[in-house]
Amino acid sequence: MKEPFVRIIRRRSDTFRHKVLVRFIAIVLALIVNAFFIYFVTGLNPVDVYVVMFRGTFGNVMRFSWAIRDMVTLLGIGIALAPAFKMRFWNIGAEGQVLMGGLATALIMVYCGNSLPTPVLFLVMIVASVAAGGIWGFIPAFFKSKWRTNETLFTLMMNYVAISIVSALTNYMRGQASSLGKLNMGTQAGWLPKFLGQSYNINILIIGILTVLIYLYLKYSKQGYEIAVIGESENTALYAGINVTRVRIRTMIISGAICGLVGFLIVSGRDQTISTNTAGGNGFTAIIVAWLAKFNTFYMALISFLLIFLTKGAAEIASAYALNDFAADIITAVILFFILGSEFFINYKLIFRGKGGDR
Amino acid sequence: MGNAIELRNVTKTFGTIIANDDVTLTIREGEILSLLGENGSGKTTLMNMLSGIYFPDSGSIFVKGEQVEIRSPKDAYDLKIGMVHQHFKLIDVFTATENIALGTDKNSQGRFSLRSVKAKAREICERYGFDLNLDQKVYEMSVSQKQTLEIVKVLYRGADYLILDEPTAVLTPQEVEKLFAVIRNMKADGKSVVIITHKLKEVLEISDRVAIMRKGRFIGSVLTAEATEGSLTEMMVGEKVELNIARSTPSDVIKRIEVRNLSVINHEGLRVLTDINFDINGGEILGIAGISGNGQKELLESIAGLQRTISGTSIKYYPGENGEKELQLVGMNPRDIRNAGIHLAFVPEDRLGMGLVRSMGMDENMMLKTYDEGSSIITNRKLPREMAEQIKESLGVVTPSITTPVAQLSGGNVQKVLVGREISSDPTVIMTAYAVRGLDINTSYTIYRLLNEQKERGTAVVYVGEELDVLLELCDRILVLCGGRVSGIVDAREVTKEELGLLMTKYGGKEEG
Amino acid sequence: MDSLLAWILRAIPFGTIIMYGALGEILTEKSGNLNLGVPGIMYLGGFAGFAGSYYYEHLSPNPNGAMCVFVALAACIAASMAGGLIYSFITITLRANQNVTGLALTIFGKGVANFFGVYILNGASYTAAPLANSMFAARIFPFADKNAVTQVIFSYGFLVYVAVILAVIFGKVLNRTRVGLNLRAVGENPAAADADGISVTKYKYLATCIGAGVSGLGGLYYVLDYNHGIWATTGQIEALGWLAVALVIFTTWKPYNAIWGAYLFGMFYWLYQFLPDIMGWKLAGYVTDLIQMVPYVVTIFVLLGVSRRKKKENQPPESLGLSYFREDR
């Protein structure tokens, strides 16, 4: 009998080398496609453009520092999502959870900034932001457990509820002013102190610690083990005596709480203000980061860095060649498409006619 | 009778498992052919290559003498081949008529109309004697109704060659009679019917010819008229193997678990267990026999704390001789049971979907039931690793490393990992569901040996099995389930295979009259 | 009364934008594909439609209205379907995760539209395609202004009516034709559909690409009619795209519900501006911001209600979000 031209079978095992190779090829192919795009749009030599792009992150120390600052924002949300995703709970609501955390921080800064002593103020800000993010994570998890409500759609909707609330309260806080501006500009109450010259260096530090902690949490803690089992099979979890409802809700509270904490870091350590753009779409991009990294927080750091490198690079191209920043979105999306598509070649194997099966 | 369908030298593998090895099989026009074989003998895989679900690795298929390629179910339908799968492939939210109308329809010309589909389907129902409400939604149907729908669907598509995969497994005796009646009607109408089954009685009752498969190979075919249960069994299991399972006389038998008035209603609202009463004793092996799907799963899961039972149910655990008070297990989940100090081991039917975590290695799977021990928030990795190494060693688990995901191991090795873990918890009770299903002889004997060792050291062993010979040679007592009730509890040394078969198919096992 | 009339006259065009987005996504989701790239597709469609008509208007020596409409529609549908095709290839053929691919498509669409949009803007903060706008916004019923009722029903550009007709066609196709039946089967239970000889891959591809084409029309309608033929770099289309995704849930995946649902969402969306007028309230700015969440909150309640009642007919398609591989075992 004639074989079909190509058959697809699931790979039973895979080597680390093969995985790395597939992803590497995907990124190279994506860069080639992007090079064509750059060439046809601008007529510029793509190699030159890539060199310019490189400068966006590595041009000087300040740029590198900013790149790391933006990277940790993305990474922070990515690691927040990791526990939820590992549990196969589709938390698409990071954007909203970050915003709620940021909002809680901003409210405390504005309304308690001058009345609380600094250490207490920070403590209250952190607790409030963590609680706000946690609540935003808790709600969909609760209903998922109670009525099996689809969490993808629920968390997605929660983002816009959060955006409305933030937009309303920033509007309320700014009063007659045209924009909110930096909060507590005069007193700088609630601003993270400068550390090695920048407030956001504290963000980098905290996210760095969290990256390690979440890695350890997922890999070595009992709760991390429970999460892994539930993600694999709820039946197995029940068999092992794991209280699925409890773990699901707990994990989503943790996921939301870390998002809330990132919201705190953005507001207190980076922007010193709040707006509907505080999360800036990072909540969505982080979903891609967390998924591609397969819940490993160190891979997340790598991927976040890659994405920020592209964004910064595209911005650099934009200013060097009078283009615009949106090139970053295109370049990023193309790379994402290629990496997403390349997963196929990690999980499956193509067998062409006449090449036999794997026995 | 001419040859309708021929499979020649067909081989199909899944990874390292050879599901069909060089199979040559003929299906004739207008016959009822039984495809007989034990679980895992490759019957379904073979037929799936006719219905377009799988594509053979090598070999060829001929329909009416012409070589064909069946790449998809659509190709199969074009060749007038239709299959009713064991797991029904119906759309829950559709009505019967809508399900029938699905796919490519050769019957209707011109405009699509559900009304004409329904009329045509009703015609089929009347012609063959099916009892089906065509406006009913599938999610409101009973299993038997769903099966009827599947068959009507296949006929509606103009299939002349019908393949039914284990059609009687889920039916009551009356429903089986009804099914056989329509199958005879179909034969009278000139259709060929292939019934995949492992039930000898039905084979002899319904078919014209029997083809036998064993371990992926085609063994041979005989005319039913010339076959007896004995000859078929021989072909099915191979040369008369004395199982020779070592069985010791139980000593120091003590009551471990007392089950009283156990009733279960599943989440589809069906009563799957009714008023079950029995004891599980330490130092003996209690077999549980029954046609699959007669409440075995729910019975074990009720004891293991995984199944909600109806009020009035009592499952008591007797800790031992030293006068400790018995414990009520109803209302406990597996962790509660563990925390109460009860070492209850359970080898579930779904090994990779319930007993183990697919993507984890042996090491991490070892701690599935013990990960929460101790007060530390960190899991203890050292013990599970040692345990994994030890089980790998003692049971001869073939795996590249103890960290290799268990999903990548062969079925036998997966089961060794699972049974090994459960036994090493030093249990006082161990329950196994279909512990040797799909395993090779050697591994099966390893499992028997392990269970016997458990029995000898005083553990209460429950063995849910499907091969009667094994039940008869391995167990001390056998509880037979029929329709979710205890049909009888018999002494495995006294009872005959026929008596068991009767208890399984008929509540109480009494002949009529 | 006047306020109510104005409110409705605003809500219906607004609803039309998201009706297109939602109709396309309903079709896509009925095949089991959860495409979170709707905002990106609406960007692609809106921009391509605008760019097509803009260049036609500016390059043709004697631009013709009908031709302008044709160019805009063709460009819009082609670009949107290309977006759908990217998504389909990655999720169906390469079996990548749907949520993540959809989000990447949203980034892509937003990037492409705004990046190339800059070339047309050429330094200006916005630019217009007046001919296309006049064609798309032209009232097709001459008697529209006779009274309030005729105004509410007849005073819009043709795409408003096309959306309603499309919704009816989609409803009919899904419920009354074999193609629709097969498509729903693919989304409910692809293995069963496959066993019935339905090409799961073909249906998924077609539903997703055609669905993308329809969603993209929402972007086109937004730019060339609702927004007066003006292109500017804003995040507005993205917000509309997500609202369309919400509307899909609100309709419980039924095209007929999309008609009234979309207009209701339009009413919700403009609630903050018109309700206070009608009731004579004076609301602070922040309250109006808060009112913007009403469509999403209502959608959440629908989602909760549907999952609580567990009525099978109102659930998302059973296999939504999952890819299908026949030999998985």
CA distance C164 to C80: 20
Chain position carrying tokens 């990690």: A346
Give the mean pLDDT of chain B: 86
Judged by CB atoms closer than 8 Å, whether chains meet at C194 and B72 is answered as yes
Taking only the tens place, the pLDDT of each residue in A62-84 is: 889 999 999 999 999 999 999 99
DSSP symbol at B354: I
For residue A272, tell me if it sits in a domain.
yes
For residue B67, tell me if it sits in a domain.
yes
Given a cut of 70, whether residue C64 has pLDDT beyond it is yes
As a whole number, mean pLDDT of residues C145-167 equals 91
CA distance A145 to C203: 33
CA distance C39 to C246: 12
Model pLDDT, residue A313: 86
B385 and B433 co-located in one domain: no
Q: CA C241, C242, C244 angle in degrees (round to 5)?
A: 65
Residue A193 to chain C, least CA–CA distance (Å): 31
- From the list C240, C233, C248, C247, the residue with the least C-alpha distance to C219 is C240
Taking only the tens place, the pLDDT of each residue in B120-161 is: 999 999 988 888 999 999 988 888 889 999 999 988 988 899
Given a cut of 50, whether residue C308 has pLDDT beyond it is yes
Residue of B344, B368, B422 to mutate, testing the A interface (most A Cβ within 10 Å of its Cβ): B368
Q: Chain B partners of A86 at a C-beta cutoff of 8 Å?
A: none
For residue A23, tell me if it sits in a domain.
no
How far, in Å, are A131, A300, C32, C248 from residue A155 at the CA level? 17, 22, 19, 15
3-class state of residue C201 by DSSP: helix
B167 and B41 co-located in one domain: yes
Domains identified in chain A, total number: 1
For residue B348, tell me if it sits in a domain.
no
Q: Residue B308's Cα: distance from chain center in Å?
A: 22
As a whole number, mean pLDDT of residues C160-169 equals 96
Phi, psi of B111 (to 5 degrees): -70, 145
Judged by CB atoms closer than 8 Å, whether chains meet at C296 and A147 is answered as no
Q: Evaluate whether the domain defined by C2-314 bears CATH number 1.10.3470.
A: yes
Share of chain C above pLDDT 90, in %: 57
Of A17-21, A126-130, B192-196, B346-350, the one with minimum mean pLDDT is A17-21
Over its C-alpha atoms, chain B yields an Rg (Å, rounded) of 25
CA distance C322 to C310: 20
The last residue of one of the domains, among B237, B256, B285, is: B237
Q: Is the Cβ–Cβ distance between B397 and B417 less than 8 Å?
A: yes
B149 and B264 co-located in one domain: no
Residue C326 to chain B, least CA–CA distance (Å): 7
Q: What type of residue is C287?
A: V
Residue of C307, C322, C329 to mutate, testing the A interface (most A Cβ within 10 Å of its Cβ): C307
Whether residue A213 lies within 8 A of chain B, CB to CB, comes out as no
Residue C182 to chain B, least CA–CA distance (Å): 6
Closest Cβ–Cβ partner in A7, A232, A241 for B334: A241
How far, in Å, are A68, A165, C291 from residue C283 at the CA level? 43, 16, 11
Model pLDDT, residue A294: 86
By DSSP bridging, strand B217-223 and strand B209-214 are: antiparallel
3-class state of residue C248 by DSSP: helix
Q: Is the Cβ–Cβ distance between C211 and C45 less than 8 Å?
A: no
Residues 229-288 of A with CB under 8 A from B: 229, 232-233, 235-236, 238-243
Q: Chain A partners of C293 at a C-beta cutoff of 8 Å?
A: 160-161, 163-165
Check which CATH number belongs to the domain holding B460 and give it.
3.40.50.300
Taking only the tens place, the pLDDT of each residue in C18-29 is: 999 999 999 999
B326 and B373 co-located in one domain: no
As a whole number, mean pLDDT of residues C128-142 equals 88
Judged by CB atoms closer than 8 Å, whether chains meet at A1 and B356 is answered as no
The last residue of one of the domains, among B370, B396, B426, is: B426
Q: CA C128, C132, C134 angle in degrees (round to 5)?
A: 95
B141 and B96 co-located in one domain: yes
Taking only the tens place, the pLDDT of each residue in C175-199 is: 888 899 999 999 999 988 887 878 8
For residue B349, tell me if it sits in a domain.
no
B418 and B444 co-located in one domain: no
Closest Cβ–Cβ partner in C105, C111, C308 for A326: C111
Given a cut of 90, whether residue A143 has pLDDT beyond it is yes
CA distance A135 to A122: 20
Identify the chains in contact with B, defined as 3+ C-beta pairs within 8 A: A, C
Whether residue A165 lies within 8 A of chain C, CB to CB, comes out as yes
Closest Cβ–Cβ partner in B52, B72, B93 for C312: B93
Domain range for A166 is 70-293
B176 and B210 co-located in one domain: yes
Q: CA B391, B303, B246 angle in degrees (round to 5)?
A: 50
Given a cut of 70, whether residue C258 has pLDDT beyond it is yes
Whether residue B17 lies within 8 A of chain C, CB to CB, comes out as no
Q: Is the Cβ–Cβ distance between B27 and B4 less than 8 Å?
A: yes
Taking only the tens place, the pLDDT of each residue in A96-111 is: 999 999 999 999 999 9
Q: Nearest residue on chain C to B106, judged by CA atoms?
A: C197
Q: Is the Cβ–Cβ distance between B199 and B168 less than 8 Å?
A: yes
Q: Residue C187's Cα: distance from chain center in Å?
A: 20
Q: Nearest residue on chain A to B380, judged by CA atoms?
A: A220
Q: Chain A partners of B377 at a C-beta cutoff of 8 Å?
A: 221-223
B175 and B263 co-located in one domain: no
Phi, psi of B89 (to 5 degrees): -110, 75
B22 and B86 co-located in one domain: yes
By DSSP bridging, strand C126-128 and strand C230-232 are: antiparallel
Over its C-alpha atoms, chain C yields an Rg (Å, rounded) of 20
Q: Is the Cβ–Cβ distance between B357 and B365 less than 8 Å?
A: yes
3-class state of residue A183 by DSSP: coil
B189 and B297 co-located in one domain: no
Q: Chain B partners of C194 at a C-beta cutoff of 8 Å?
A: 53, 72-73
For residue B393, tell me if it sits in a domain.
yes
The last residue of one of the domains, among B386, B403, B426, is: B426
Q: Which residues pair with B262 in a beta bridge?
A: B276
Phi, psi of A224 (to 5 degrees): -65, -40
Given a cut of 50, whether residue A359 has pLDDT beyond it is no
Domain range for B202 is 3-237
Q: Chain C partners of A288 at a C-beta cutoff of 8 Å?
A: 100, 103-104
Model pLDDT, residue B505: 65
- Give the residues of chain B that fall short of pLDDT 70: 1, 15-16, 38-40, 104-110, 170, 172, 237-243, 268, 321-323, 505-506, 508-513
Residue B333 to chain A, least CA–CA distance (Å): 6
The beta-carbon contacts of C70-77 under 8 Å, at least 24 apart in sequence, are C72/C132, C72/C136, C72/C220, C72/C224, C73/C49, C73/C217, C73/C220, C75/C48, C75/C49, C75/C51, C76/C45, C76/C46, C76/C48, C76/C49, C76/C52, C76/C216, C76/C217, C76/C219, C76/C220, C77/C45, C77/C213, C77/C216, C77/C217
For residue B303, tell me if it sits in a domain.
yes
Model pLDDT, residue B440: 73
B420 and B435 co-located in one domain: no
Whether residue C313 lies within 8 A of chain B, CB to CB, comes out as yes
Q: Nearest residue on chain A to C248, judged by CA atoms?
A: A153
Identify the chains in contact with C, defined as 3+ C-beta pairs within 8 A: A, B
State the SS3 of B251-308: CCCEEEEEEEEEEEECCCCCEEEEEEEEEEEECCEEEEECCCCCCHHHHHHHHHCCCC
Model pLDDT, residue A1: 39
Closest Cβ–Cβ partner in B14, B85, B90 for C329: B14
Predicted TM-score of the model (pTM): 0.87
CA distance C135 to C224: 9
For residue A28, tell me if it sits in a domain.
no
B338 and B444 co-located in one domain: yes
Residue C175 to chain B, least CA–CA distance (Å): 10
